[in-house]
Amino acid sequence: MALQPRKFNFFDREVVKDPATNQIFESLKPINISACVSGRGQLVIGDFEGNIYLLPRTLQMTSFRAYQIRVSHLFQMKQSNLLISIGEDEQGVNPLIKVWNLDKMDQGTPLCTRLCRAVPDNKPVPVTCFTVHENLNWMAVGFENGSVLVFKGDVKSDRHSKQTVVYSSSKAITGLAFKSVGKSVVLFIATEISILSLTLTAKEKHSQPLQLDDFGCKLGCSVMSDFSQDNHFVIARDDALYFYQPDGRGPCLAYEGEKFMLHWFRGYLVIVGRDSKQMLPSVPIIRAGQNLDMHMVTVYDIQNKFIAYSAAHPDVISVVSEWGYLYVLAGDRKLYQLQEKDTQTKLEMLFNKANYEFAISLAKSQQYHDDGLVDIYTQYGDHLYRKGNHDGAINQYIKTIGKLEASYVIRKFLDAQRIHNLTKYLQALHKAQLATEEHTTLLLNCYTKLKDDSKLDEFIMHKDRDVDTAETAIKVCRQAGYHKHALFLANKHNLHEWYLKIQLDDIKDYQKALEYIGKLDFEEAENNLKQYGKMLMSKRPIETTQLLKRLCTDYKPDDRLLVEDGDLEGTPVRSEVCQAQAEEFIHIFVDNSAKLTEFLEHMISVSTNSPSILYNTLIELYLHDVAHMTGAQAKEREEKILKVLKNPEANYDLDQALVLCQMNNFKAGILCLYEKARLYQQILRYYMDHDSYDHVITTCKTYGNQDSNLWVQALSYFAKKENLKQQLGIVLHHIDKMNLLPPLLVIQTLANSPTATLSVIKNYVIRKLQTENDQISEDERLIKQYQEDTAKKRQQIEDLKTKAKVFQNTKCSICHHPLELPTVHFLCEPHSFHQHCLLNYAENENECPVCSNENRKIMDVIRQQEHGRDLHETFHNQLERSVHDGFSVVADYFGRGVFNKVTVITDSPARMASMGGKYQ
């Protein structure tokens, strides 16, 4: 036995009343009704006397005579105000089809645009049913003999209209309906024994009908559903309701009971029949002396599978729908109006009976707004929660995600026994991408408490997980000990800091951490090595040092292609050199000086222009090693130190290196740095402090040319020592050779020396005295020569003043050709010139061009002497610096004429003698 659907009373029934009198509308009582349809804002009724009645909403009924005998069938078009009727104007079987244009009147009667006979194969047969397509190009008529006559063409007129019998059988046709499928038109045919579909074409011959089922239905027990049910062809049998598409039977709904009539209204299937299980009144209704059977009018919600209305009506003639209402025309000629209750009222009725599932289904079918649906889900969830059905409740709460505050649901399921339900809700929340960081944390905690590794894996592996959610998941996984899951998330979302924290702090896999850093971009690798470098150096010193070398030279990630795409295509790509500052990583090697030494050696070998801190640190490390090494190892380190110190390109800080060498008493380094800094005095002082006599002499010989005072200091040093006659003699020899000190000062220095006896300085004193004598002789010779030259010059000047000068030159001193007037003679040699040669050759016509160069040199010397004699400050500075030989400075300036007042007379006789005069 089939289960009976739930019944509700979602329609209010009332008898239609005349709005003018507010009394029951009884204008239909005298009418012997034969057919009834609705559409275009009115009800249309036909009777057995041939009249058609038009009943508008105001119930002001009008009528017109359509047939002489009777009206048997009516069809009202929905998209045009056309009424198609079938009836008889003559006695016997003679069905006529008439098309009425209700918008046009002809003498008070609607215009009849078409009149044709419905006779299949010229055999008059009673019509059982007919239908018209809304495109007004197809009309089908079914007959009692099992024939189906199809009219193709304009339904409104006879022109271009053709009729064809498309189907014949032995049983009467009980139902017809059109359906448009794309550009095709399908005709459903129902008989008492079969259901068929026929595809109609524009050709004369149509395809063979397709049998959809081998049983049929009664007359009136078929209807076409609307789009909400995919335009199924619905038939009713006593056992069930069947739905058909052009290619076959669809769903089937068990619904027992005898059925007489079907009607479709707003997604409802209206069934008129007799329910064998329904208790009918024992006393029949009597009208005009006739008994009226009671029929059950049932409004069935096909989509939601429940009965929205069911009540008995006396002998139902027809069911129609118009103006948003359902009308039942009963045998007592009363018109019953069924008004559907509003959605909210229906939902309240369902809520009162705790029928939440029906309420949800109903709300969806009625296109209820989203907020209203959420309220229903919430109420249903609360109801199930109170009953203890937590699984069902959470399913309803999941449907409220996005509308209902998540905390309302979460608080209900925080109990440990309901953790499964909470997990399910949180999963749905994440799937809807509405979860917050707190929700993610809670969900992951649920997974870890449930030990549900599969769900945790699924959550972690989700490809659309955003970064914020991933960070939250990482935190929870770390706390719960799921380090591999946290590591996967960090790697997937490029959360480098989290990845390294997990590897180093949790898993302790330092090698993989190093490999991961080596694959990062330059900036990321640099920052992470600064942060974790000390830890990695303590655990993996070799690998960490290698990575630092790469980072500080020309870094490229490990997974970077060795050859750029542009290089493969022939276009070289200039890649930027990424190079970290090596000095920023020195602190990483605080506990590993050996690796720091290796790192610094590598950096200096790669770039000699490295910062000074690298060189200074390397020197300090070398010195530290020397202090703790012996033998060949210490010697090797010393050689490395000297190699760095002597390297002219080494960028170390000289002062700091010197301090380091002094602190570690590294003799070779100290001397090397003194030499590099040109601190020759310090080198000499170093050897003096260590009484290294040979090195003192060697230092003076090596650097004496740069600093002659070294020999003077050496003289003072050896003068204080005993038994150093040889060294003292060498020093005196060089002082004498370089004339560094006056002899008197040398003798004073050696006066108190225990080593400097007369035999030591004898040769020196003799040489100096002989030199002084030679110098005196030379000076006397020069004085005598200068006196003679001066006397000659004075005599020449006097002769020029007192005696005439005879020019006997016969040739020009420039061109060497015989002189011709005009000529120019100078008093210098004398020299004579053609005037035109002098003008072309001489720079100054008042100066002899032959003697001008020599004269110019003499004038320059005079000017320099005049300028130098005013440099008093310079004189005093040089005199103060020349501590041992100030007399030579005074003599030099005396020779320049600094201490004489010299006046240069430009037009003096001497200048005239050198310049000469013009004679033409």
Name the more confident of 668 and 139: 139
Residues 6+ apart with CB under 8 A from 568: none
Q: Which two tokens stand for residue 186?
A: 């399908």
Tell me which residue has tokens 């059905």: 389
Using DSSP bridges, classify how beta strands 148-152 and 138-143 pair: parallel, antiparallel or unpaired: antiparallel
| pLDDT number for residue 765 | 76
Dist CA 918 CA 846 (whole Å)? 8
Distance CA 868, CA 813 (A): 37
Q: Does the structure show a pLDDT above 90 at 64?
A: yes
The contacts found for 847-853 with CB under 8 angstroms, 24 or more apart, are: 847/915, 848/914, 848/915, 848/916, 849/814, 850/813, 851/826, 851/914
* 875 touches 889 (CB < 8 A): yes
Percent of the chain with pLDDT over 70: 88
Please check the confidence at residue 572 and state whether its pLDDT lies above 90.
no
pLDDT-derived band at 210 (thresholds 50, 70, 90) equals very high
Average the pLDDT over 754-775 and give the result: 74
> Looking at residue 907, what is its pLDDT?
41
The answer, yes or no, to whether residue 914 has pLDDT greater than 90, is no
Residues 712-728 have a mean pLDDT of: 74
Mean pLDDT along residues 411-429: 86
Tell me the C-alpha distance between 411 and 210, whole Å.
60
pLDDT band of 244, cuts 50, 70, 90 = very high
pLDDT-derived band at 870 (thresholds 50, 70, 90) equals: low
- Quick count: other Cβ atoms within 10 Å of Cβ 448? 18
Q: What is the mean pLDDT of residues 808-817?
A: 85
Q: Is the pLDDT of residue 509 over 80?
A: yes
Q: Is the pLDDT of residue 680 over 50?
A: yes
Q: How confident is the model at residue 146 (pLDDT cuts 50, 70, 90)?
A: very high
Instruction: Quote the pLDDT of residue 912.
Output: 39
